[in-house]
Every structure is written in C-alpha cells, then in structure tokens.
Chains A and B, each alone.
Chain A
C-alpha cells in the first residue's frame, strides 16, 4: 500500500468500519424522519461527510498513504467546496 512498506489492514478493522458506516446510515435515516425543518439537510449532509471520511481513510487506505496523496485529495474537496460557495454567492446576491 504505502510505498515500500506494505501496511496490511486487518480484516477486523474493515468489519468495525462497516459496522460504524451502517450505524451512521441508520442514524441518518432516523434523524431525517423526525421533523427538524431547515436542519434536516444539514444533518443528513453531516452524516454523509462522516461516512465519506471513514470510507476515504480506511477503505481507500488514505490513512496509510503518503502525505502528498492526502493533500491532493484534500485539495480536490477544497476545489469542490469553493465551487459550491461561489455558485451560491452568485445566486444569493444577484
């Protein structure tokens, strides 16, 4: 995985991550079914972000990758965030 040093992720860790992801999924189903009004979208997205963090770090091995790959991934998400912010600034203030 990470260059010359092969970090072998134990099966057990993957299983634990899966359990966490399933728990977060059911939690997000539950939290969006109760009436939160404007916070429903925020709550659902928050759960999705935590889930994607787990998938990126453990399933996609980013946690064990060299820093430059992590920085690249972070950079892409930053670009995406900027794209959203700029789009909404445009719609909110036109």
Chain B
C-alpha cells in the first residue's frame, strides 16, 4: 500500500502528493463503476418492462437502511480526520472503530439481502433465473449481483484500510502532522459511499 510506504520514510512524506495520488486512484474507480452504470443505462433503455418487474423484487427498506448506515459511517470517518487535526487521538481511534463496525453492519444486511434472493432461487446462472426469467430480468439481476458485489468488495477493502489507519494511530505513526493514511482511508470510504448513492436509486427506487 502506497500510504504505508510513505509512513516508513519520514523524509519523503508529502501530504499533498499523497492526496493527489489517492484522487488519481479514485478516478480509476469512478470510471470502473462508471462503465458499469453505462451498461446498466443501456440495458434499462432496451428492456424497460423487465427492469421494472425485476426492480420490484428488491427490498426498498433494506436498501434505505443500508443507505442511512453508509451515510452515518461517512460522517464518523470524516469526523475522525477532524479529531486527528485537533490532536484528539483517542477520539479519532474511536471514530474509525465506529466506522468499521457500521461497515460490518452494512455487510451483515447485504448478507441477509442476498440470502433472501438465494432462497428465492435467484443467483447468477441459477435454474430459476435461466428458465423462468425474461432476458431483461436476467440482465437486471446479473448487474445487481455484479455491481452490489463489487461495491461490497470495496466495503471490505475500506474496512481493511481502517485497520491499518487505527494501527497507525495507535503506534503514533499517524499523527496531526502526518495524517495522510487516515485522510486517504476517509477518501476511500467516501468513494464507497458515493458509489452507493447512485446504486441505491438505480436498483431499489426506480421501478
């Protein structure tokens, strides 16, 4: 991880370039998901009825709960950067830990949500999907599993980065004059939030 690299070489530390490097990485992520959004838009345009039907299958309540969860977690990690700047190390550690737990709650929700789909025989390549669904519905659920799955993977990676950020805070390697690891951890987490902000209406709300 590049941030860890910076932490180990104090003389080469540069907060500005760390941040720009993180943004460049975020751009690649935005375009990765951007391409998936374009695929979604085209398939939706070609199969409006099927997407309408398939969208009804998704649980709005779970989707909304997960949105609220993710927005709150975005606030707590943003507050952690403020805490560090104010020199309140323990508050920062607590806030990142809280964010980690909230991220876990998101994944638990996702687990149950996917579990319900699986119990209805809906998973990529399932018999039910292949035999009883229209082409458009198969496309919808294919995109649903790929996009929310890829998003969940980003949640897991974000939580892993948080572990490193907390370790840095505890060991004193991340402090008010060297906040990049925590700042970039926050940026990554906000990216995950940003992607969900678009996934949520496209899959759960638009019927």
Contact = CB atoms under 8 A, between A and B. Distances in A.
Interface of A: 1, 3, 6, 8-11, 14-15, 17-18, 21-22, 25-26, 28-29, 32, 40-41, 44-45, 47-48, 51-52, 55-56, 58-60, 65, 69, 72-73, 76-77, 79-80, 83-84, 87-88, 91
Contacts of B34: 80, 83
Contact of A88 (B45, B74, B202): B45
B173 interface: no
Nearest to B84: A8
Interface in B25-52: 27, 30-31, 34-35, 37-38, 41-42, 45-46
Given A52-B194, A76-B27, A80-B34, A8 B183 contact: no
The DSSP consensus for interface residues of chain B is helix
A11 B82 contact: yes
Given A52-B197, A80-B34, A83-B38, A59 B183 contact: no
Interface residues of B, number: 44
Contacts, number: 111
Interface of B: 15-16, 19-20, 23, 27, 30-31, 34-35, 37-38, 41-42, 45-46, 60, 64, 67-68, 71-72, 74-75, 78-79, 81-82, 85-86, 183, 186-187, 190, 193-194, 197-198, 200-202, 205-207
